[in-house]
Structure 1
Amino acid sequence: MANTSRQAAWEFWGAELKRRREEAGLTQDALGRMVFVSGGYVGQFEQAIRKPQLDVAVRIDGVLQTDGFFERTWRKLIDDQRYADYFAAAAELERLATKICDFESMIVPGLLQTADYARVLTLANNPLATEEYIEDKVRARLDRAVILKDTTRPLYWAVLHEAVLRVPVGGPAVMAEQLEHIARLARERKILMQVLPFAAGAYPLMGRMLTLMEFEDAPPTAYTEGVYSGNLLDDPAVVMRVRESYDLLRAAALSPEASLALIESAAEDYRRCASST
């Protein structure tokens, strides 16, 4: 679906929400309390500024007694089968963000992955999948990275734990290409990159991943992931705490210059190892 037609469909979703809410005699604040979001968020849903999470759409159906209308429509609009159910909403928001801040403790963030690196990870999680399935997932991940090439690309800042550089996903050749790709993006000033070294010891969000997203006309959102699950956080107080944790990570990380030198050194080591085998 083209972006314009998708946006028009979301505007219909929002207009329908407003119509049915008013028919039920509920204010935005009242509906918000009943579905566990703020009245301001309900207003943003109605104006198609922000897309709701699936569980919110389901609760709206329950409160307004709309027989699953909002859930079904949500699935048609946002439930892209190229992505896991729990990540589809985050992928949609990613395309709208003006600023994205990533933290990863073990693997390269999806927006920075090369095809071979993404393929190895996808196969590791789906060892019995068909080649077609694997390639579909890899293409979907690479499609996401297009936003870093756009003239209106978001400001992208990533903090990677040093473990990301040292775990040999796919072997030396794959890792060399992957780290060289990250270094190239940093040198071209398309991304800001920092590495949190092993020497930093304990750190905020230890063992977790985090994506912070900011938008032109909507409040910031945080996305975190667990085992086959994801969570979009948009409560202002929670997002503020998450942003503070991210600031602490950046403060503990190496400078962008030192980080780039470490990434290039690791890439060179992998390339040398690949050449000798």
Structure 2
Amino acid sequence: MANAIDPSASMAALFGSRVRRLRTAAGLTQAELGARTHVVGTRITQIERVSGAKPTLALARALDSVLGADNMLVELWPYVYRETYPDWSRKFMKYAEDAVTIREYAAHVVPGLLQTKGYARAVLSLDALLGSEEQLEERLTARMVRQERLDSPDRPELWVILDEAVLRRPIGGDTGMRDQLQRLLDAAALRHVIVQVLPFAQGGHEAMGGSLTVLTMPDGSHVAYTEGADFGQLIEEPTDVDRYKLIYDRLQAAALPPLMSLDMIRSAMKGNHHGTNVPSRSERRSLAQKQLQQPGGRQLRGGGRRVPDRRPRP
């Protein structure tokens, strides 16, 4: 067929080809499908030919329902939506999907991979450029889908360092914040997730401008990503990436060991927003040695770093 769209060209093309196939199987014209999903027939034409705006989440749900797609179109939608992001952003997300290790420092909010739905909604709703409730729902759905990789068979090792400000700034109300802090505690109990807190008492550091992520790829190479309030930058040049790897290593050394970090998270859950007593370096070393001696505990390297678990994943 001369006007056929190659479904492998993009996620939008795949979405359009699925809609066309389902519509044809249902014996519906484009106009009839448009009427049943409350859009004009030309909108269905645009989706099938990938010639107009990307489908909204609401339309994907309507198409799924009318065509009996068993949620297939809704599940495909976040990947279509992602194609609206800038090239560098999509490239970073592709790297993150393939990474075997994700190391992230968060200066202001909990990283997206560990956000509860309520917390994520509260954070996303703060965007001054947010146009509608529908747009908020679309962004929220896309974020929740990205979290699914943490439960997948090829899940990455995730190491998160949270600035203390992340724990002390209540976002989404008291109940929502407690739920989010509990989510951090639950995540830290998983074998493939490590959570540390960088306390205020450590003072200034090289990553204060925003968040920092360092990814380890299957071939052993690395990429880095920095993000502020209004910008993001993907770093691929090995020399530059090495500099950010060093910055992250220094953050790990300055942060509290995992067990102390969890104590600080629990303190924040109890409403103690006046901070906790931060142990001295010698006290931290002493605690790390005690953790090493605990039966069944995960080993810690010097400075409180945990030795990665090399046992096969279930």
The equivalent of 2:92 in structure 1 is 90
* 1:208 shift after superposition: 1.7
Q: CA deviation at 1:238?
A: 0.6
Q: What does residue range 130-169 of structure 1 map to in structure 2 within 5 Å? A: 130-169=132-171
Q: Deviations over 1:86-121 (max 9, x none)?
A: 522211211100000000111111111111111111
Partner of 2:189: 187
What's the % identity of the aligned pairs?
38
5+ residue gaps, structure 1, are 11-76, 271-277
Q: Residue in 2 aligned with 1:121?
A: 123
Looking at structure 2, the residues matched to 151 and 209 of structure 1 have their Cα atoms a distance apart, in angstroms, of 27
Quick one: which amino acid aligns to residue 260 of structure 2?
A: A
Q: Distance in 2 between matches of 1:143 and 1:79?
A: 12
**Cα distance in structure 2, aligned partners of 1:111 and 1:153:** 12
1:108 to 107, 110, 117: 110
AA at the equivalent of 1:206: M
Question: Where has structure 1 moved over 6 Å in runs of 4 or more?
Answer: none
Higher relative CO (CA 8 A, sep ≥ 6), structure 1 or 2?
1
TM-align CA RMSD: 2.5
TM-score, scaled relative to structure 2 = 0.59
1:106-157 per-position Cα deviation (integer Å, ceiling 9, x unaligned): 1111111111111111111047522111111011111111111112211100
Instruction: Please give the alpha-carbon distance, in whole angstroms, between the structure 1 residues aligned to 2:270 and 2:88.
Output: 36
Q: Is the 8 A contact 2:109 2:166 kept in 1?
A: yes
CA 1:152–1:146 in structure 2 vs 1: closer, same or farther (change >3 Å)? Answer: same
Q: Deviations over 1:9-65 (max 9, x none)?
A: 69xxxxxxxxxxxxxxxxxxxxxxxxxxxxxxxxxxxxxxxxxxxxxxxxxxxxxxx
Paired position in structure 1 for 2:76: none
In structure 2, give the amino acid aligned to 1:246. Y
Cα deviation, residue 267, structure 1: 1.8
Inter-partner Cα distance in structure 2 for 1:107 and 1:86: 22
The answer as to 2:242 corresponding to 1:240 is yes
Partner of 1:265: 267
Partner letter of residue 159 of structure 1?
Answer: I
Pick which of 84-93 and 102-111 moved more: 84-93
Structure with the larger helix share: 1
Confirm or deny: 8 A CA contact 2:100 2:216 kept in the other structure. yes
**Is the 1:223–1:232 Cα contact (8 Å) retained in structure 2?**
yes
1:215–1:86 Cα change, 3 Å? closer
Q: SS at 1:231's partner residue?
A: strand
User: In the alignment, is the contact (CA less than 8 A) between 2:130 and 2:136 conserved in 1?
Assistant: no
TM (normalized to structure 1)? 0.66
Question: How many pairs are equivalent?
Answer: 199
Alpha-carbon deviation of 1:218? 6.0
